[in-house]
Structure 1
């Protein structure tokens, strides 16, 4: 699955799934610019690492523009940045609810709108958003996260329909449980990571969490020419968890 010369901007790639995705893309020949607010490993494989705050519209626009200049255009953009806030309607902080929609939904819209001209100039391309398997399910105690990720999935489908005529594909990666610190707030609902690990066989038919390397390979496929007929899809990779809970859409 060669992606030699593909020009990719990855936002949120300094650790976890994002880091694995950058490494997988670079290993397949893609030219990658990575942006994050955290320091990235020195051997990441990206041509350049930029600083970004996805809550800052102007900084998003600046990063997209700079990535386009560095790479000579853009063929694909993957936003893996977001937040995980949990709580019920009564227990959650309203600020966390607002921040979840600002960073999990609005920031993706700003990034996509800023990148569209560059993707059009390239004759088409791919937008990928990291949503969640929670986008298609409901679960107690996770209102800010599930509501915002569900909204992101709906936006993904809407954009896929609107920009198919420009040969721009738009998809959402919907991970289930992945063993990364991002999921720490959700693990706390089970009493912490170790307690959660004992629950995994009940929650996930494959009896384990996913690895970041598995998701790196999936990202590489979604952004590749091998997936050129795929758009508007919720790519759910959850070890079968949604088979038990059942999708809500």
Structure 2
């Protein structure tokens, strides 16, 4: 049975991934700054095989990622995979974008995944199929008029994935980055607010996506489930785009 730590699993893609992995029988620990939401995700999947635990963790702090790893190990006795889904999206026009917004974004979106992989490395090396899956974005490959720190952090995450893959590969750990496009979750609310509202912009967005619609969190969770599975044993250092064809258009 696989033991997985999901960082930022109280909602959106993280919650969908927790549900998907619990359904396969995995033991899952959900670490989130929203402990009530994390606990509800675990409770809702109690009918599945495997066990679920949840804990409070501020992943944007220097100690938070290591704390989450330690709690996952305490809860389940081992760690086979880390899935980092936590993230921050700040949407501010260029003249008003602040240093504080930049630093908050980088602390959670880029520093925290590195610290979590670093803390988890020994446990993952002891697993027969150690996995790290980071959550990037198509923002790593295309610009956005107000998401400066977000886009920069996700571009950095793709580069970090490659470096971690090189460092952790000799121990048998595969490191990948899943890069969602437009997934219909409240995470995108700052963008809708910046452009004047969801309804006015949604039709234009859909017209740019070859499959004609936003994705669902489950669309990304299904890909993550493969990336943490033994079947992905020869896939590492790669960014896997899940965007309905947006980048191809």
Determine if the TM-score, normalized by the shorter chain, exceeds 0.5: yes
Contact 1:124 1:166 in 2 (8 A): no
2:80 counterpart residue number: 75
1: CA distance, partners of 2:84 / 2:116: 8
Using a 3 Å threshold, how does the CA distance of structure 1 residues 152 and 174 change in structure 2: closer, same or farther?
same
User: If the length of structure 1 is used for normalisation, what is the TM-score?
Assistant: 0.91
Equivalent in 6, 10, 15 of residue 11 of structure 2: 15
Offset at residue 120 of structure 1 (A): 1.5
Offset at residue 88 of structure 1 (A): 4.3
Offset at residue 242 of structure 1 (A): 0.7
Offset at residue 7 of structure 1 (A): 0.7
Contact 1:8 1:31 in 2 (8 A): yes
Deviations 1:142-176 (A, max 9, x none): 21110111011111111111211111111111000
1:161 aligns to 2:166 (yes or no): yes
Contact 1:123 1:166 in 2 (8 A): no
Q: What value does the CA root-mean-square deviation take over the aligned residues?
A: 1.4
Offset at residue 57 of structure 1 (A): 2.6
Gaps (5+ residues) in structure 1?
Answer: 245-249
Gaps (5+ residues) in structure 2?
Answer: none
2:194 counterpart residue number: 189
2:98 counterpart residue number: 93
2: CA distance, partners of 1:89 / 1:167: 43
Aligned residues: 240
1:199 counterpart residue number: 204
Matches within 5 A, 1:160-239: 160-239=165-244
Deviations 1:41-86 (A, max 9, x none): 2314452111110122323222211211221110000010010012
1:26 counterpart residue number: 22
* Range with greater deviation from structure 2 (17-26 or 158-167): 158-167
1:147 aligns to 2:166 (yes or no): no
Contact 2:129 2:233 in 1 (8 A): no
Offset at residue 124 of structure 1 (A): 4.7
1:247 counterpart residue number: none
Offset at residue 123 of structure 1 (A): 4.3
Contact 2:4 2:79 in 1 (8 A): yes
2: CA distance, partners of 1:79 / 1:118: 16
2:65 counterpart residue number: 60
1:113 aligns to 2:118 (yes or no): yes
2: CA distance, partners of 1:120 / 1:222: 16
